Amino acid sequence: MTYGVEVRGARPLPFRMENGVKVFQMETSVFGWTILPGVTVDAYGYNGQVPGPTIRFNQGDKVRIDVINRLPETTTVHWHGLILPNVMDGSAMITQAPIKNGQVYRYAFTAVQSGTYLYHSHDHVDRQQGQGLYGALIIDPQTPDPSLRADHESTLQLQEWLKREGLTYPAMPKLTPVQLLAAGSSTS
């Protein structure tokens, strides 16, 4: 599947109610994402968009996010900055087994805080995040502060792409602290 330049990412993710739980559905996949007229990159994304859909719910809500993996490799989702049960953290091989191709993982928790956060892959992060597996997560406060009313709201997420010889790469490959130390050390 290829999406044209008119298609935007970060579209709101709808939910359905199941026994008092807000249930969201996300699917990872590889697709063509047009970033400029005539320039299409191979993206990894959630629900066919980069950035992934904006997930929004309220503090105190019971939430379940079903993630179906359609990538050619394993993946997870890390809910960056959220206070939640450790098994819902999404760190591959640390707090959960990676989601294999064709499998579903159900992330379930109660939103105990409010604020603007993000979610992203936490498996093969050097490639998956760099090619589009991230999105915004907004948790509205249980009791809004009337002094913080706004007439317009924007969430901005930036992405950089590198396309060379017909292949798409993360523009800035991420290095682990161990790789950075090894790259900075010398032997005599």
CATH number at residue 151: 2.60.40.420
Among residues of the chain, what percentage have pLDDT more than 90?
A: 58
Strand-pair category, 78-80 with 115-120: antiparallel
| pLDDT score at 1 | 82
Q: What are phi and psi of 115, to 5 degrees?
A: 140, -175
pLDDT of residue 12 exceeding 50: yes
Cβ-in-10-Å burial (0-12, 13-18, 19+) of 167 comes to exposed
* Residues whose CB falls within 8 Å of the CB of residue 131, separated by 6 or more in sequence, listed in order: 41, 42, 43, 44, 168, 170
Q: Which residues contact 77 (CB under 8 A, 6 or more apart)?
A: 26, 65, 67, 90, 105, 107, 119, 120, 121, 122
Stronger pLDDT, 112 or 86, i.e. the higher one:
112
For 184, list phi and psi in degrees, rounded to 5: -90, -10
Instruction: Give the containing element (helix H, strand E) for 169.
Output: strand 167-170
Structure tokens that stand for 137 in this block: 């997560």
pLDDT at 172 over 80: no
Of the candidates 28, 37, 123, 33, the one whose C-alpha atom is nearest the C-alpha of residue 75 is 123
Q: What is the pLDDT of residue 22?
A: 98
Lowest mean pLDDT among 24-33, 71-80, 169-178: 169-178
Over 60: is that where the pLDDT of 83 sits? yes
Tokens found for residue 150:
């706004």
Give 178's contacts (C-beta < 8 A, 6+ positions apart).
Answer: none
Residue 155 has pLDDT above 90, yes or no: no
Task: Enter the pTM of the model.
Answer: 0.85
What 3-state DSSP class applies to 106?
strand
Is a pLDDT exceeding 50 seen at residue 132? yes
Mean pLDDT of the chain: 88
- Domain limits at 115? 2-184
Provide mean pLDDT across the span 50-54. Answer: 96
Is residue 188 predicted with pLDDT exceeding 50? no
Q: How far apart are the first and last CA of the chain?
A: 52
Give how many domains the chain has, as a whole number.
Answer: 1
pLDDT tier at 68, thresholds 50, 70, 90: very high
Question: By C-alpha distance, which of 36, 33, 11, 34 is closest to 24?
Answer: 11
The pLDDT-based confidence of 187 (bands split at 50, 70, 90) is very low
